[in-house]
Amino acid sequence: MKSWYKNLSDFINTLKDAGELSIIERSVSHYLEISKLTDAESKAPDGGKALLFENVEGSPFPAATNLFGSSRRICMAMGVDSLDELGDRIREYIEMHPPESIKDMLGLLPTGLSVSRFFPRSLRSKSPPCQKVIYTGNDVDLSILPVLHCWPKDAGPFITLPLVFTKSLKTGRRNVGMYRLQVFDKNTTGMHWHIHKDGSHNYNEYCRTKKRMPVAVAIGADPATIYAATAPMPRNVDEMILAGFIRNRPVPMTRCITVDIKVPAEAEFILEGYVDPGELRKEGPFGDHTGYYSPADDYPVFHVTAVTHRKSPVYCATLVGRPPMEDCYLAKTTERLFLPLLQMVLPEIKNYWLPWEGVFHNIVVVSIDKEYPGHAQKVMHGLWGQGQMSFCKAIVVVDRDIDLEDPNQVIGKFIENFDIQSDLTMTKGILDVLDHSSPTPIFGNKIGIDLTARFPGETMRIPIDRSPEASDDKQVEILDRIDKKLDGVIDARRFSYPQRNVKAPRRNSILFLCVENEPERPGRFYANKLLEMTGLEPFNIIILYDAKIDLADNSLLLWKMFNNVDPGRDLFIRDNRLVIDACRKYKGDGHPREWPDELSFE
């Protein structure tokens, strides 16, 4: 296993030697065609292969996608056999140099010479690799880049894997984030930094002083540097230090030509320029990692004053959409790398897991060493107060004996333990900008589910002797009964999972229903009717989905539920029975916002 890479080409050559790269020699279009091929490859077993398109129509440069889109390739990219090795290295450092805070830890404060090697270094060469070819002034033309038009309803081509370099006006400290760039014309793009992101914070500093903000964007770098731009680092902590930590050697940096910002010297392309305070332009829609189009909105404009690149650069892009896709593996790196840091603040946490269907911000499952009544709720609120975890909509807490590497154990514990009356914690807080289920953007309802064993002093779960799970014949009978009493129910399926070695009766039995959801009869209409019906005793949890949903696809059902449910609006509880409305929402549901379209090439 190669421990580090000098640049992107070094990594691509390693993938080729390892049989992890497919080279497409024929001519392909950057308009949807590369995306279709990448989407299909991403959904192939084990993430398929990385793709290198050697001949992209209208551009002299090749394009690479799906570079990190498998468990093997992301480990190769990080120079480890298992992503847990990254967390183990963090843990070793914590034990050697106990920090006073997570910020201290992530800053990798130079308490010894061994740590200083992580800090970026200035390249002494007057002709760094990223500046072998230089375009400035009227020669700047972004159309030479093979920028992907990813999805049919996208507003245009988007640079999807950019490393955006900015500096704080107050402290001068560097920030590197990954914010998509919609290409407007030959020398301007959108700058899509969300309100909660550090790039946006730096921009606000310039806006308050009405000063022009210098910005530089790197496209394509060594894998650790690309990953570091995605990592949820605390403000004023340099992501290039994290990249150096993963590489075990510093990232060589060089100063831009037209702006006072340093960028990775080994990058494939550099875009230099500025953002003027207060200048906004409509950006989007864009097919996002949620699997839906994020809506158009006003964002700052990036003016490109220079484009530089290597002698033979490779344009690096990613395609995001309904999981699993490449970004899932980058997120898995964050999950494993940041576990020891969470344990610094919440040492009772044994492990945690962000299911891909939750698209990073919708759900996290945590196993803990429970020691006292209310411990699970303490962990929930502690996580909701920690960095990127504050955006999480749902938190599930289980005991330490549950192996989070085995999702069936978590599902089984939910089926066996979940008590509707005692296990729910409802609250409100900030949400990810891309959460579309909340009636209001950025802020809304959150839910905690406590599946841990009860301690004295906690509300005990209601004893239950659930009826045996409905047989296939019984399921047909139930569906027939629903059809006769409630028009619009299209299909039904009971949920089954591998039986665990538990003698106690199952507390919960789940029924999935497809309904004809429409403005006149939204999901809440069906929910209320179902709770009024008799004869559904074999099922105490019913989850509603739109028509044409494949009820046999468990991953699809979880993805729809995590994305489409607002905990404060879409859960209907009566007499220890629960109906969850995972359908599309309308104004009649109390959802005034526009509901986004699902991504599709059709």
Assess whether 257 and 137 both reside in one domain. Answer: yes
Which amino acids are annotated catalytic?
A: 288
Assess whether 345 and 296 both reside in one domain. Answer: no
Alpha carbons 124 and 384: distance in angstroms, whole number? 44
Q: Let me know how long the chain is.
A: 602
Cβ atoms of 578 and 541 within 8 Å: the answer is: yes
What is the tens place of the pLDDT at every residue in 325-352? 999 999 999 999 999 989 988 999 999 9
pLDDT above 70: residue 407: yes
pLDDT above 90: residue 112: no
Residue-averaged pLDDT of the chain: 91
Q: What is the pLDDT of residue 17?
A: 97
426 by Cβ neighbours in 10 Å (0-12 / 13-18 / 19+) ranks as exposed
Assess whether 337 and 289 both reside in one domain. Answer: no
- In this structure, is residue 599 part of a structural domain? no
Q: What is the pLDDT of residue 536?
A: 81
Average pLDDT over residues 586-591: 90
Q: What is the distance of C-alpha 524 from the center of its chain?
A: 29
> What domain count does the chain have?
3
pLDDT above 90: residue 372: yes
Average pLDDT over residues 536-559: 92
- In this structure, is residue 63 part of a structural domain? no
pLDDT above 90: residue 123: no
Cβ atoms of 289 and 40 within 8 Å: the answer is: no
Residue 443, domain CATH? 3.40.1670.10
Peptide bond into 285 cis (omega under 30): yes
Locate the DSSP E strands across 158-314.
158-159, 162-167, 174-177, 181-182, 188-190, 213-219, 252-255, 262-264, 269-283, 286-287, 293-294, 297-309
- Token digits of residue 528: 């209320």
Determine what percent of the chain is predicted with pLDDT higher than 70: 93
- In this structure, is residue 438 part of a structural domain? yes
Q: What is the pLDDT of residue 97?
A: 60
Assess whether 334 and 280 both reside in one domain. Answer: no
- Hey, how many other C-beta atoms are within 10 angstroms of the C-beta on 142? 20
Cβ atoms of 62 and 49 within 8 Å: the answer is: no
What is the tens place of the pLDDT at every residue in 479-537? 777 767 788 888 888 887 655 555 556 788 899 999 999 998 999 999 999 998 887 87
Q: What is the pLDDT of residue 487?
A: 83
**Domain of residue 489, residue span:** 472-589
pLDDT band at 109 (very low <50, low <70, confident <90, very high): very low
Classify 264 as helix, strand or coil.
strand
pLDDT band at 469 (very low <50, low <70, confident <90, very high): low
What is the tens place of the pLDDT at every residue in 35-50? 999 999 999 999 999 9
- Hey, how many other C-beta atoms are within 10 angstroms of the C-beta on 452? 20
What is the tens place of the pLDDT at every residue in 125-160? 889 999 999 999 999 999 999 999 999 999 999 999
What is the Cα gyration radius of the chain? Answer: 25
296: left (phi over 0), alpha (psi -120 to 50) or beta: beta
Alpha carbons 518 and 516: distance in angstroms, whole number? 6
Assess whether 271 and 230 both reside in one domain. Answer: yes
Assess whether 559 and 492 both reside in one domain. Answer: yes
Helices (H), 210-261: 223-228, 239-247
Q: What is the pLDDT of residue 27?
A: 98
Cβ atoms of 145 and 269 within 8 Å: the answer is: yes
Strands 252-255 and 121-122: parallel
Lowest mean per-residue pLDDT among 37-41, 140-144, 411-415, 558-562: 411-415
Residue 521: beta bridge partners? 518
Alpha carbons 577 and 6: distance in angstroms, whole number? 58
Assess whether 416 and 536 both reside in one domain. Answer: no
Assess whether 415 and 486 both reside in one domain. Answer: no
Of the candidates 418, 450, 482, which is a domain's last residue?
450
Residue 511: beta bridge partners? 494, 542
Lowest mean per-residue pLDDT among 8-17, 409-418, 422-431, 564-573: 409-418
Lowest mean per-residue pLDDT among 66-75, 218-227, 476-485: 476-485
Q: Which residues contact 555 (CB under 8 A, 6 or more apart)?
A: 323, 357
- In this structure, is residue 33 part of a structural domain? no
- In this structure, is residue 601 part of a structural domain? no
Assess whether 116 and 251 both reside in one domain. Answer: yes
Q: What is the pTM of this model?
A: 0.93
pLDDT above 70: residue 473: no
Assess whether 572 and 434 both reside in one domain. Answer: no
Find, among 226, 231, 154, the residue nearest to 198 by Cα. 231
- Token digits of residue 213: 């903000």
Assess whether 128 and 196 both reside in one domain. Answer: yes
DSSP state of 461: P
What is the tens place of the pLDDT at every residue in 244-286? 999 999 999 999 999 999 999 999 999 999 999 999 999 999 9
Of the candidates 310, 336, 370, which is a domain's last residue?
310
Helices (H), 493-598: 523-532, 554-564
Q: What is the pLDDT of residue 125?
A: 82
Cβ atoms of 77 and 354 within 8 Å: the answer is: no
Cβ atoms of 156 and 296 within 8 Å: the answer is: no
Assess whether 205 and 298 both reside in one domain. Answer: yes
